[in-house]
Amino acid sequence: MSKEFRPFFLEDIVKIEATQSSIDKKNLSGIKGKYPYITRTANQNGCADFINAQSDYNTDSGNCITIGLDTQTAFYQPNEFYTGQNIQVLSSPQINTLLFL
């Protein structure tokens, strides 16, 4: 079976948007919790900490790819999360865990 590869624009296959939360670390409540706090770190799937619900911010939905704009780090996020600053979110119904195994 032969496959044909062609160039494409990323915007044609995924939705690219800024994060819903973009919380500066100094504005976190400081209480540990279940939500990943995704930053531009290259470690731990971009997760710098686990925090509780932040009443002044919306979470981002899981099943997406996060990209740290300054570091160009990209990670799959399976669950709902919050982010630090300068994070972009790529989402599509076609994104799933199988792409990252």
Domains of the chain: 15-92 (3.90.220.20)
Q: Rounded to whole angstroms, what are the CA distances from 65 to 2, 38, 46, 57?
A: 29, 11, 11, 20
The DSSP string of the chain is ---------GGGTSEEEE-S----GGGS---EEEEEEE-S-SSGGGEEEEE---TTSPPBPSSEEEEETTT--EEEE-S-BEE-SSEEEEE-TT--GGGG-
pTM of the model: 0.85
**Dihedral angle over CA of 79, 84, 88, 89, nearest 10:** 10
Which residue's structure tokens are 């995704």? 38
- Residues 54-84 have pLDDT tens digits of 999 999 999 999 999 988 999 999 999 999 9
Q: Which two tokens stand for residue 26?
A: 């100094």
Q: What is the pLDDT of residues 11-42, one digit of tens each?
A: 888 899 999 899 999 999 889 999 999 999 99
